[in-house]
């Protein structure tokens, strides 16, 4: 689809940002949620870019494709004629591109890479790596062609909650190291974008204690550092299934017999144990939901995909995210 035919409105007024940063504790499914959000925001003929920055090739694994090079590639179509592209940002490649774009120094960059200078520079000053990664994200977010932005939205599968504040807070890190020069200018530009209404940082969590705690911690950090928080996305939730933990053995026995099932002691006590455990889990989930609600941010719940995250599952999550708009 040509750029000129795309809808002019940003996707969904309830997802107003253009750059969506998706973080969350490891194991919460933030890559799947980021992919689903990119699909959701591309619905109806829009074009989005799904970006990863940690060199894990998580997007390729999720979609079962070959590893992505450092290039924006068609990933998949979205409902209603939209398109999702994917990009795996690599700090070295970003630096080479940067040198070439601004200084016509592509040759020098390649020579530096041979020398190990880039590995060296990004090792000794990890802040520089983050500037390069976020710089590329900013470039893609703000890139225009003709009078129109190339991407209606950019979704960043960002580092996990433990590292996200530091990753986003690039200016502080580089200001300590680079006091002048274009890297400083670049990081200031990134910092401004990340703190503007164009950006929303979403936190993915599960209804488990540690992820909820990390969600609260990260949101407190974002408030301190001035990053606009979008939503808390509660992933892998189960539909409410009322189970009476206090059900007696006699009731269970009667019920099993009425249903024509075996009602031996092992089965009855086994089912009673399951009911108790289930109810403990539900109570815990309810209290965690309350904790999340008290953070005062919009919550979106996504269903557990029992068969793992495949393409159909992603579409289901995307539809749930669109509905949340």
Partner 1 sequence: MNRARYARLVPSDDAAPPLDVDRILADPGVRIVVCCGAGGVGKTTTAAALALRAAEEHGRRTVVLTIDPAHRLAQSLGLTELDNTPRQVKGINVEASGGELHAMMLDMKRTFDDVVLQHTDPARAAEIFANPFYAAMSSTFAGTQEYMAMEKLGQLHARGEWDLIVVDTPPSRSALDFLDAPARLARFLDGRMLRLLLAPARTGGRSMFSFVTAGFGMFSKVVQKLLGAQLLSDLSGFVAALDSMFGGFRQRAEQTYRILQAQETAFLLVAAPEPDAVREAAYFAGRLRADRMPLAGLVLNRVHRPAAPELDPDESLAAADRLARLGGHDGTADVLRAHATLAHQAVREQRVAARFTAAFPTVPVASVTAQPADVHDIDGLRTIGSLAGQGDP
Half-sphere exposure at residue 94, Cβ-oriented, CA atoms within 13 angstroms: 26
What are phi and psi for residue 315, nearest 5 degrees?
-60, -35
Q: Which of 54, 92, 221, 315 binds partner 1 (CB under 8 A)?
A: 54
Tokens coding 192: 């401004």
Q: Which of 8, 197, 306, 312 binds partner 1 (CB under 8 A)?
A: 306
Q: Which residues 251-280 are close enough to bind partner 1 by CB under 8 A? A: 251-252, 254-256, 258-262, 266-267, 269-278, 280
Give pairs for 148-151: CB < 8 Å, separation 24+: 148/3, 148/4, 148/6, 149/18, 150/3, 150/47, 151/18, 151/47, 151/48, 151/49, 151/85
* Contact between 308 and partner 1 per CB under 8 A: yes
Which span sits near partner 1 by CB under 8 A: 173-181, 219-227, 291-299, 314-322?
A: 173-181
CB nearer to partner 1: pick between 99 and 321: 99
Q: Which of 177, 295, 319, 320 binds partner 1 (CB under 8 A)?
A: 177
Q: Which residues 222-251 are close enough to bind partner 1 by CB under 8 A? A: 238, 241-244, 247, 251
Sign of the CA dihedral with 241 first, then 39, 190, and 7 last: negative
**b or e along 115-137 (b: 16 or more beta carbons within 10 Å of the residue's beta carbon)?**
eeebeebbeebebbbbbbbbbbb
CB nearer to partner 1: pick between 17 and 252: 252
Of 9, 16, 22, 12, nearest in space to 54 by CA? 22
CB nearer to partner 1: pick between 226 and 270: 270
CB nearer to partner 1: pick between 125 and 320: 125
Helix, strand or coil, per DSSP, at residue 251: helix
Tokens coding 243: 């189970």
Which span sits near partner 1 by CB under 8 A: 23-31, 140-148, 224-232, 311-319?
A: 23-31
CB nearer to partner 1: pick between 77 and 277: 277
CB nearer to partner 1: pick between 8 and 250: 250
The 89-128 site mask, x for binding partner 1 (CB under 8 A), equals ----------x---x-x--xx-xx--xxx-xxxxxxxxx-
CB nearer to partner 1: pick between 11 and 317: 317
Of 15, 33, 14, nearest in space to 206 by CA? 33
CB 52 within 8 A of CB 187: no
Q: Which residues 140-159 are close enough to bind partner 1 by CB under 8 A? A: 159
Which span sits near partner 1 by CB under 8 A: 48-56, 69-77, 139-147, 195-203?
A: 48-56
């Amino acid at each position: 689809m040509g750029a000129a035919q795309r809808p002019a409105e940003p996707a969904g007024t309830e997802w107003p940002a253009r750059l969506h940063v998706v973080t969350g504790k490891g194991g919460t499914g933030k890559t799947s949620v980021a992919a689903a959000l990119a699909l959701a925001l591309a619905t109806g003929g829009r074009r989005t870019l799904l970006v990863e920055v940690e060199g894990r090739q998580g997007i390729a694994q999720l979609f079962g494709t070959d590893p992505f090079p450092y290039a924006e590639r068609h990933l998949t179509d979205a409902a209603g004629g939209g398109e999702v592209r994917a990009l795996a940002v690599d700090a070295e490649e970003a630096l080479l591109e940067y040198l070439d774009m601004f200084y016509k120094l592509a040759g020098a960059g390649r020579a530096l890479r041979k020398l190990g200078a880039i590995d060296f520079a990004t090792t000794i000053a990890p802040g520089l790596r983050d500037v390069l990664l976020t710089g590329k994200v900013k470039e893609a977010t703000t890139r225009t062609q003709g009078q129109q932005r190339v991407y209606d939205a950019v979704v960043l599968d960002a580092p996990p909650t433990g590292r996200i504040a530091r990753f986003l807070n690039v200016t502080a890190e580089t200001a300590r190291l680079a006091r002048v020069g274009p890297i400083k200018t670049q990081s200031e530009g990134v910092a401004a974008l990340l703190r503007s209404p164009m950006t929303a940082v979403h936190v993915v969590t599960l209804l488990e204690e540690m992820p909820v705690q990390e969600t609260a911690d990260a949101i407190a950090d974002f408030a301190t550092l001035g990053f606009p928080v979008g939503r808390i996305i509660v992933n892998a939730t189960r539909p409410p299934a009322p189970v009476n933990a206090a059900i007696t053995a006699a009731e269970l026995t009667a019920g099993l017999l009425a249903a024509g099932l075996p009602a031996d002691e092992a089965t009855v006590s086994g089912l009673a144990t399951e009911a108790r455990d289930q109810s403990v889990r539900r109570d815990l989930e309810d209290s965690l939901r309350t904790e999340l609600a008290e953070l005062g941010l919009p919550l979106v719940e996504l269903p557990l995909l029992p068969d793992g995250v495949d393409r159909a599952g992603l579409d289901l999550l995307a539809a749930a995210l669109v509905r949340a708009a």
